[in-house]
Chain A
Amino acid sequence: MAYSEKVIDHYENPRNVGALDAKDEAVGTGLVGAPACGDVMKLQIKVNDQGVIEDAKFKTFGCGSAIASSSLATEWIKGKTLDQANTIKNTEIAQHLSLPPVKLHCSMLAEDAIRAAIQDYKQKHRAA
């Protein structure tokens, strides 16, 4: 399968690979996908007092499109408020990366990862 240039760029030079301290109150962690399905994404956000995502990190087990989708997602959510980040759609990710139909699930997973990270952050703060 031929990958788009943008997928190749994100795959070869992934942005924001790494981990944040999941126990930190300011950090929200989303873990989505399943090893048996061939892709797992972990996306983390660090939110400041103004409710802005000041840092984001990811780790992904999956194909090039999955890695690229999560890399792009971290790039896009940085600097956004939680509400803004919540509006990012899988279709935008898929379109930006020119994903073929068979790879659309990668972009859906990236959207799920963003939502899961935000939810985790909100849950922590509701409890606190």
Chain B
Amino acid sequence: MVTRPIYLDYQSTTPCDPRVLEIMLPYFTEEFGNPHSRSHAYGWRAEEAVEGARGHVAKIINADPREVIFTSGATESNNLALKGVAQFYKAQKDHIVTCVTEHKCVLDSCRHLEQEGFKITYLPVQPNGIIDLNRLRDTLTDRTALVSIMAVNNEIGVIQPLAEIGKICRERGVFFHTDAAQAVGKIPMDVEAMNIDLLSISAHKLYGPKGVGALYVRRKPRVRLTALITGGGQERGMRSGTLSTPLCVGMGVACAIAQAEMREEYARLCTLRDRFYNTIRSELEEVYLNGDFEQRIPGNLNISFAHVEGEGLMMGVKELAVSSGSACTSASLEPSYVLRALGVEEEMAHTSLRIGFGRFTTEVEVDAAAQKIIIEVNRLREMSPLWEMSREGINLKSIQWAAH
């Protein structure tokens, strides 16, 4: 058997937990009923399973099951929250506030709304990746319908001050939506304590199956939205289409497991993360963490290794499955917009790796990964003209570089 790379890309996706899969399986075969069929036992059994799952999803965010609607994933949930609320309230309100480091599906939904005439404010972030609450407060007007700020950033893992944002929004009568795809199951989320009105979840980021997610939509005070997908009126009219019972069941079990194990897993990941980061920092100079160290989930490190290009480094650590904020990995040829938004210089943005730890990461893997990275960074620095120049005390900014 070919040995596979060590998986350290848990912000991209997580493997479906075998315990989750096992409970899903019967719903593909013998329990195949349509959960919306009301006239026979096949439908009732499927409905019961879906409603049980809805309960688990609601519980992990301290919501009522009637406030949870299933979707195809966080991208759809974010689209529905933004476009749905915007469309419903557009006669009275036409302003939405979001942030420059949001996931592309939020930013792109906002761009579409902008083309339809909505006004969007893109809040900047501070160098630690967190928004400035005073700027948020100042940007709200009587025309603001919605504030959409992510819970945890997918690239740099920083946690936004959700309770404070929720409080500001509630005081101003503005709905608060949060893309919590990277947060649910990792850190405690509470829609009541945090005054969250809409919240997006993705199952495959918390060891559930791909292809399913959920949107929490508050009932009191009621949030209304215009459906994007119309049809049979399932999911209280907000999202038509027959639900996939196995996917919903999988998401429910994934939430139940994540909630039961969250405290223990959080502590375990902190230990692994610290072990990795301390090893790297003790062996390598000029290593910089992107994003706040404290306000961050333990499963993420985004590190710039000065004077070593990220894609080149990834090629050297091919035994590790990681991702880079460097240009060349994406089709755009631009370095990460998230890192640029923190004020990380382009050169440093090109030298970053995103390293994600998760449920199946072991100490042995973390140690092997750290050693591999240390060896490759040293090798590539020996090959780097920038490293050589910086060792010679040359200020790289003093050089007239020819952009190409």
Interface residues of chain A, those whose CB is within 8 Å of chain B, are 1, 3, 8, 11, 14, 17, 19, 31-42, 59-64, 66-67, 102-103, 105, 108-109, 112
Contact = CB atoms under 8 A, between A and B. Distances in A.
Interface residues of B, number: 31
Given A34-B402, A37-B403, 10 more contacts: A17-B382, A19-B388, A32-B404, A35-B347, A35-B396, A38-B311, A40-B386, A60-B385, A61-B384, A63-B311
A60 B384 CA distance: 5
A1 B382 CA distance: 25
Contact of A59 (B335, B347, B383): B383
5 contacts: A38-B335, A60-B383, A60-B385, A61-B386, A112-B404
B312 interface: yes
Nearest to B308: A61
Contact of B385 (A11, A40, A108): A40
B174 to A, nearest CB: 38
Given A17-B382, A59-B388, A62-B309, A11 B315 contact: yes
Contact of B333 (A41, A42, A62, A102): A102
Given A17-B383, A59-B388, A67-B383, A39 B401 contact: no
Contacts of A36: 345-347, 350, 401, 403
B163 interface: no
B196 to A, nearest CB: 38
A60 B387 CA distance: 10
Nearest to B311: A63
Contacts of A41: 385
A17 B316 CA distance: 16
B346, B385, B396: most-surrounded residue (chain A CB, <10 A): B385
A35 B388 contact: no
Interface in B331-355: 331, 333, 335, 345-347, 350
A35 B386 contact: yes
A64 B312 contact: yes
A66 B313 CA distance: 12
Interface string B392-404: 0000100101111
A14 B309 CA distance: 16
Nearest to B333: A102
Nearest to A112: B404
B309 A39 contact: yes
Given A11-B315, A40-B386, A35 B350 contact: yes
Q: 9 smallest A-B Cβ distances: which pairs?
A: A34-B401, A35-B347, A42-B385, A36-B346, A63-B311, A59-B385, A64-B315, A38-B350, A61-B384
Interface string B69-112: 00000000000000000000000000000000000000000000
Contacts of B345: 36
Contacts of B326: 38, 63
B328 A63 contact: yes
Contact of B312 (A19, A62, A108, A112): A62
Contacts of B401: 33-36, 40
B327 interface: yes
B364 to A, nearest CB: 25
A57 to B, nearest CB: 11
A64 B335 CA distance: 17
B334 to A, nearest CB: 10
A109 B388 CA distance: 19
